């Protein structure tokens, strides 16, 4: 039994090779890509499933399924049907990619037709589930002129081997409190990111002794009491209890227990309630009017101007802290006000709390939590968060980056398709019955060229998600076997290399066992480009529903 608890040292040396044989060093890239191809891509298509026409309301087109095939030659007339190997792509300077096939249902005249259409090609990661090398033995690999030791995990685009580096960035949907010592400002920030890909940053910050909610979509900083009243918490007492907590219970003199008492922030918070009263805001409706007159309105929709409170409701429901769900209340409720969609804002039954059909309770509690964190940091500067702590960071892998890129390209593809369908349907006299399948075939290779361009240049510029990133992909360095492996486990962070900041470059104790302490370049990128430790395992996205 003792030998199991304390294995001899020579047995421990067998652990690492065994682990690497099972997992491999590039498992994280391959897992991430497989998750994208099998799960993510289907969810994206499900979210953008329907294409309708403004010209003919009877016409619709629906995507029912999407599948990524196996890599093949894109030549229609290729006589030999041998599978396409990565080595052939390297030699012929072509892209190792597989067709993306969608199943569509659409109306043609009176009947509904179902067909399969190829909408473009997706570059395939070597050794992933869709690659021809997966699960092959050494003899078969030798027949394909492929090294059995090559780890895979990269793409072949126009004949060059490209790696999508692991990107490190601050965790989304998490409150981070910072103190600016020079200005004496305490601020809690939270970057929201939803499945729709909307990203927005919300701050709760101090200014001249008061606390304000700040967001880009509102011209002016909103006093926190007004923000909470607008979110449906009308009574000052409730706001005080949510943000500043209850008064501590008196300690009985007999007990010598050293239990820390809950801090009381009432005095610190009360000026905010007075400020709201000075501005003459007492009810939810007044608060919404106050915010509504200061919301930046994106006037794309032509029509009558909506009342200010409605604009404020829309902004609070969909833009501010977008990741906190806002369920609809009232008859047949349970729907969620999604990003982009308008919120059904009828006045509810008068007896209803707040009287509006939207339930902001969760969002109000989240804002109150941010406020409380700010109050705690004002009292005690130890309560600030460390941006460089590894727990506040997330790693973005190839699959997530490709998912963002695919979503952007697919939405553009759909809008182009809609435009060309409208163009055909506009013509009054058509010789033949309109078939959307022909229009889809004429769409051109928007998806294919988008993927190839992004991976070969390394520029992920997605206007839709406000994402501008350069240098995401690098050419795989084949100077030695180790240099190729080291390239796969490299992590690049989003800091500029020129700034002489020591914080992000320092070796964090929280990196223990996850990031290698010594494998980092010397010179300007020192400490900013890190490497994963040998046995690090990165988990992919987990569905949150079962939890």
Domains 20-169+394-532 and 174-248+263-297+307-322 share a fold: no
Q: Where are the domains of the chain?
A: 20-169+394-532, 174-248+263-297+307-322
DSSP state of 535: T
- The answer to whether the CB of 271 falls within 8 A of the CB of 251 is no
Res 262: pLDDT: 62
Architecture of domain 20-169+394-532: Alpha-Beta Complex (3.90)
Q: Over pLDDT 70: what percentage of the chain?
A: 86
- The answer to whether the CB of 346 falls within 8 A of the CB of 357 is yes
Tokens of 271: 């000026």
Kindly report which listed range (141-155, 203-217, 345-359, 489-503) carries the lowest average pLDDT score. 345-359
Taking residues 285-307, report their average pLDDT: 79
Q: Which of 96, 104, 94, 172 is nearest to 132 (CA)?
A: 96
Which is higher by pLDDT, 5 or 401?
A: 401
Which is higher by pLDDT, 435 or 206?
A: 206
pLDDT digits over 2-48, tens only?
566 777 788 878 887 887 777 777 888 998 999 999 988 998 898 88
Which is higher by pLDDT, 303 or 225?
A: 225
pLDDT digits over 252-268, tens only?
555 555 555 666 788 88
**List of long-range contacts for 133-140, beta carbons under 8 Å, 24+ apart:** 133/85, 133/86
Taking residues 378-391, report their average pLDDT: 84
pLDDT digits over 466-477, tens only?
788 888 899 999
Res 93: pLDDT: 92
Architecture of domain 174-248+263-297+307-322: Alpha-Beta Complex (3.90)
Which is higher by pLDDT, 332 or 46?
A: 46
Residue 479, pLDDT above cutoff 50? yes
Residue 343, pLDDT above cutoff 50? no
Which is higher by pLDDT, 95 or 348?
A: 95
Q: How does residue 493 score in pLDDT terms, banded at 50, 70 and 90?
A: confident
Q: Which of 98, 96, 123 is nearest to 399 (CA)?
A: 123
Res 342: pLDDT: 41
Q: How does residue 437 score in pLDDT terms, banded at 50, 70 and 90?
A: confident
Residue 429, pLDDT above cutoff 60? yes
Average model confidence (pLDDT) across the chain: 82
Which is higher by pLDDT, 366 or 199?
A: 366
Kindly report which listed range (194-208, 335-349, 393-407) carries the lowest average pLDDT score. 335-349
Res 340: pLDDT: 41
For 170, residues 6+ apart whose C-beta sits below 8 A from its C-beta are 176, 191, 387, 392, 393, 394
- Burial class of residue 272, CB neighbours in 10 A (0-12, 13-18, 19+): buried
Res 335: pLDDT: 43
- Compute the distance between CA of residue 126 and CA of residue 135 in angstroms, rounded to an integer: 12
pLDDT digits over 352-361, tens only?
344 457 888 8
Q: Over pLDDT 90: what percentage of the chain?
A: 16
pLDDT digits over 180-218, tens only?
877 778 888 888 877 666 678 888 888 888 889 988 888
Taking residues 321-343, report their average pLDDT: 58
Which is higher by pLDDT, 337 or 459?
A: 459
Res 266: pLDDT: 83
Res 341: pLDDT: 41
Regarding beta strands 166-170 and 490-493, do their DSSP bridges make them parallel or antiparallel, or are they unpaired? Answer: parallel
Taking residues 338-349, report their average pLDDT: 40
């Amino acid at each position: 039994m003792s030998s199991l608890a304390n294995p001899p040292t020579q047995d421990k040396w067998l652990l690492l090779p065994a682990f690497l044989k099972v997992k491999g060093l590039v498992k994280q890239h391959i897992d991430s890509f497989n998750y994208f191809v099998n799960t993510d891509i289907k969810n994206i298509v499900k979210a953008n499933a329907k294409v309708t026409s403004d010209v003919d309301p009877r016409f619709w087109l629906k995507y029912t399924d999407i599948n990524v095939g196996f890599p093949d030659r894109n030549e229609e007339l290729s006589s030999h049907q041998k599978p396409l190997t990565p080595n052939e792509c390297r030699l012929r300077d072509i892209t190792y990619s597989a067709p993306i096939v969608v199943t569509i249902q659409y109306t043609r005249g009176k009947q509904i037709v179902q067909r399969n259409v190829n909408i473009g090609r997706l570059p395939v990661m070597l050794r992933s589930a869709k690659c021809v090398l997966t699960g092959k033995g050494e003899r078969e690999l030798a027949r394909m002129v492929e090294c059995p030791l090559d780890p895979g995990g990269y793409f072949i685009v126009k004949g060059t081997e490209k790696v999508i580096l692991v990107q490190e960035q601050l965790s989304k949907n998490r409150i981070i409190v910072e103190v600016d010592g020079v200005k004496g400002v305490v601020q809690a920030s939270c970057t929201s990111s939803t499945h729709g890909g909307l990203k927005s940053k919300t701050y709760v910050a101090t200014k001249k002794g008061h606390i304000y909610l700040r967001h880009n979509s509102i011209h002016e900083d909103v006093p926190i009491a007004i923000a909470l009243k607008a979110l449906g918490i009308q009574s000052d007492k409730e706001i005080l209890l949510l943000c500043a907590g209850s008064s501590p219970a008196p300690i009985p003199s007999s007990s010598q227990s050293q239990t820390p008492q809950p801090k009381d922030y009432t005095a610190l918070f009360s000026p905010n309630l007075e400020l709201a009263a000075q501005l003459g805001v007492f009810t939810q409706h007044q608060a919404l009017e106050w915010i509504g007159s200061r919301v930046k309105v994106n006037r794309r929709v032509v029509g009558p101007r909506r009342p200010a409170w409605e604009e404020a409701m829309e902004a609070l429901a969909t833009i501010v802290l977008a990741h906190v769900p806002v369920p609809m209340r009232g008859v047949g409720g349970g729907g969620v006000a999604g990003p982009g969609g308008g919120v059904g804002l009828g006045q509810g039954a008068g007896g209803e709390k707040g009287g509006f059909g939207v339930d902001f309770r969760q969002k109000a509690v989240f804002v109150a939590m941010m406020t409380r964190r700010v109050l705690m940091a004002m009292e005690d500067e130890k309560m600030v968060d460390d941006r460089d702590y590894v727990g506040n960071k997330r790693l973005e892998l190839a699959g997530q980056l490709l998912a963002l890129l695919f979503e952007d390209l697919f939405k553009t593809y759909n809008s182009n398709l809609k435009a060309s369908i409208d163009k055909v349907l506009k013509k009054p006299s058509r010789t033949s019955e309109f078939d959307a399948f022909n229009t889809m075939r004429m769409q051109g290779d928007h998806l294919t060229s988008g993927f190839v361009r992004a991976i070969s240049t390394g520029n992920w510029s997605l206007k839709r998600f406000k994402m501008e990133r350069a240098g995401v992909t690098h050419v795989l360095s084949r100077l030695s076997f180790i240099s190729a492996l080291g390239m796969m486990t490299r992590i690049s962070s989003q800091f500029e290399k020129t700034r002489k900041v020591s914080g992000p470059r320092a070796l964090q104790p929280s990196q223990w066992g996850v990031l290698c302490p010594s494998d980092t370049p010397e010179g300007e990128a020192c400490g900013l480009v890190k490497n994963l430790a040998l046995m690090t395992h990165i988990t992919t996205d987990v569905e949150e529903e079962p939890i």
